Every structure is written in structure tokens, then in C-alpha cells.
Amino acid sequence: MRALLVEKGEDGKTSASVTEVAEADLPEGDVTVAVEYSTLNYKDGLCIGSGGGLVRNYPHVPGIDFAGTVETSDDERYKPGDKVVLTGWRVGEVQWGGYAEKARVRADWLVPLPDGLTTRQAMAVGTAGFTAMLAIQALEDQGLKADPILVTGAAGGVGSVAVALLAALGHEVAAVTGRPEQEEYLRGLGASRIVPRADLAETVKRPLETEEWGGCVDAVGGAMLARILGQMRYGASVAAVGLAGGPGLPATVIPFLLRGVNLLGIDSVMQPYENRLRAWTRLAEILPMDKLEAMIQPATLDDLPELGAAILQGQVKGRVVVDIA
Ligand code: NDP
């Protein structure tokens, strides 16, 4: 089977190339899937490159997401021919993932392909889109009372899907981007306001600023998240999803204490099955498929080394869909 294999040289440096790999080398698991599509997330960029502390053993096949057809199954929940999706569970990090014609995983980690989505569309969503849905569900569970809703890292994967979902749900969306050339793209997804990244780049000077945002999906973290906390409306929530701008949080606790602002942590990797189904079902119901199509950048396994480096530089727009079959 063809796979993108990452190998580590004696000098400790990694290199990724498309090569033939024996099926017998697949990890243990109870379901073998013929992979049709995979995708590219920020984490995949790390795993294609240096490993970013995520990959334990080499040679390694990255790909934290895949969708395809069950080929063999030792688990009664799945039978040959079933369409399935996998995101998270550290597949593509600590064990081989979706950048190969076949993948073998535990049945517990799979979800059935949601009605209304193709395997290609499911990978246009991928971990990034699934996480955007989890973030919006978390905001809704806290009560989304007022607009606008802010989305940071908006032209990226999580951000693009979050903008499209929030707009489809009828919210007024403000999109933060460092790429002014993506304004038309973001307005096409449903953003009604573009906020230049530079407007939120400075570190916190005043712990409370004018109340602006009724909610926020934050893919950036760092100084930007700290600034945003001080701009949230009374009682509003921020879903902390990512760290594209850094893992630090140079903030004060004042917005929590004086404005009852909530900071909600979002993890897509270890989400329990029921919540996964809830998110995938809603994605299939809500996400406008024409908007999803507009986010797609098609790719093959051969494109991944270059794209992996690009996503780490914040240079990928929307969602890369990797055609494996
Ligand atoms: P992308 O690279 O597609 O998007 C990130 C976006 O953030 C970029 O497109 C860019 O948007 C913006 N950005 C990049 N660098 C900076 C910077 N230095 N300062 C401010 N903004 C910046 O990645 P994903 O959308 O796949 O992932 C986004 C983040 O979410 C990552 O940190 C990722 O690790 C995390 N993540 C977390 C998950 C979880 O389970 N919690 C699951 C999935 C992702 P623009 O050009 O529009 O400014």
C-alpha cells in the first residue's frame, strides 16, 4: 500500500516521502479501513515535520483524520462496506494514521459516516471542523445571548468552519485575520465584519476594554486571547481551541471576576463517543455544503510535505482534502 512515511535519520532529522509500505506493518486494531480521503490539520504539519513531541516511534505514517470504507472488522459494530470516519484518539501521532491507502484502528475510535456527508466532505470538515462544532456547542451550552461572535485565525481550518457554522446558525460573525487578502473569502463564508489581526496583537494594557463580543471561538491563544477576554460582554464565553499564536496566556483574572466571563477548554482528541456523534450529526445538518466546498484545497499524498510546512507558517487557507484512493 502507498503511504506517506516519515523516517528519522541518524542525525535525528526527519524526512517524509511517499513510499510502498507492507500491510503487515499496520498497527494492531480490530477494524481495517480502505482510506478514501484524509486531510491536513496544524498537528499534521508537526507530525509530517519534526514530530513536535507528538510522534513516539519512527518510521511513522501521520494523518490524524481519515474517512473510508471498512475492509475487515472483528467488531460487531462494523462490517465490510460500512463508511466510517476517524478523528483524534492520537491516531497519526502515537500510532499510524490516515496518510496511507489502509489504516487499522480500534472500533471504539470510529464513528459511522454521518447521513448526508460523503467521505470527501467528512474530511473537508476533519478534526478542524469537528473542533469548530465542539466549540460552538460549548458556547451554546453556556448560552449565546448576544452577537457579534468573534472567530480568530479565521482563514485557517478551525476558523473557516466556525465562521460558516455560526453564520448558518444566524449569528453575526466578526472574523479576525492576519491575511487581508482573504477578506472576500471570509465574507463569502458568512463573516459580516473583518477584524485585522494587528488590532488584537498588542498585549493587555487595560484588563477591561469596551464590551464587544457575545462569544468567541479562539484558534490563536497567546496575547490575542488575553486581549479578547477583556473585550467580552458581561457573562459571555470564549471557547479556547488553539495556540496558533502561542501557548501563553498573558492575561489578568479581572474579566472573570468583574464581568463573569467564561473560558471554555475544547479538546477534540478524547471526546466521548456520544458527543462525537452529536457534533457530526449537527455538522451534517447545519454546515452549508457550498460553503464547505469553497474551503477545499484538493491535494494528494505527494503534496503533503510541502503543505505540512505551509500550515505551520499559517499559510494554508481553509481545508486541505487529501485524495488517497
Ligand atoms: P490553521 O493553520 O489552518 O489555522 C490557524 C490560523 O491562525 C491561521 O490560518 C491564521 O489565520 C492564524 N494564525 C497563524 N499564526 C498566527 C499568529 N502567530 N498570530 C495570530 N494568528 C495566527 O490551523 P487549524 O485551523 O487546523 O488549527 C488552529 C489551531 O487550533 C491550532 O493551534 C491547532 O493546534 C488547534 N487545534 C486544536 C484542537 C483541539 O482539539 N483543541 C483541534 C484542532 C486544532 P489568519 O491568516 O486568518 O489570521
Bridge partners, residue 240, by sequence = 218, 265
Residue 292 has what pLDDT? Answer: 95
Nearest Cα residue to atom 35 of ligand 1: 242
Q: Is residue 225 within 8 Å of residue 264, measured between CB atoms?
A: no
Our answer on whether the CB atom of 54 is closer than 6 Å to any ligand 1 atom is no
Residue type, 311: I
pLDDT of 60 reads: 97
Pocket test for ligand 1, best of 241, 249, 266, 296 (most atoms within 8 A of CB): 241
Cα 42 to averaged position of ligand 1 atoms, centre (Å): 7
Any ligand 1 atom below 6 A from CB of 4: no
Count of other CB atoms within 10 angstroms of residue 265: 8
Q: What is the pLDDT of residues 62-79, one digit of tens each?
A: 999 999 999 999 999 999
Task: Please list, in sequence order, all residues whose beta carbon lies within 8 angstroms of the beta carbon of residue 240, skipping any fewer than 6 positions away.
Answer: 218, 221, 225, 263, 264, 265, 266
Which of 220, 295, 321 has most ligand 1 atoms within 8 Å of its beta carbon, as the pocket-test mutant? 220
pLDDT in tens, 302-314: 999 999 999 999 8
Q: Looking at residue 42, what is its pLDDT? A: 92
pLDDT of residue 202: 87
Does the pTM surpass 0.80? The reply is: yes
Asked whether 179 lines ligand 1 (CB < 6 A), one says yes
Q: Which residues contact 88 (CB under 8 A, 6 or more apart)?
A: 64, 109, 127, 268, 269, 270, 271
Q: What is the DSSP letter of 27?
A: P
- Report how far ligand 1's centroid is from the alpha carbon of 297 (Å): 16
Phi-psi region of 84 (alpha: psi -120 to 50; beta: other; left: phi over 0): beta
- Compute how many other C-beta atoms are within 10 angstroms of the C-beta atom of residue 158: 32
Rounded to an integer, what distance in angstroms lies between the CA atom of residue 4 and that of residue 18? 4
Which pLDDT score is estimated for 95? 95
Assembly ipTM: 0.99
Which of 39, 40, 41 to probe ligand 1 with, by most ligand atoms within 8 A of CB?
41
Looking at the CA of residue 311, tell me the nearest atom of ligand 1: 2
Atom of ligand 1 at shortest range from CA of 45: 2
Ligand 1 neighbourhood includes 223 CB (under 6 angstroms): no
Positions of the chain with pLDDT under 50: none
**All domains of the chain, ordered by start, with CATH?**
2-113+295-323 (3.90.180.10), 127-265 (3.40.50.720)
Q: For the segment 111-152, what is each residue's pLDDT rounded down to a tens digit? A: 999 999 999 999 999 999 999 999 999 999 999 989 999 999
Grid cell of 98 as nine digits: 490516515
The Cβ of residue 263 has, within 10 Å, a number of other Cβ atoms equal to: 18
d(CA 137, CA 115): 20
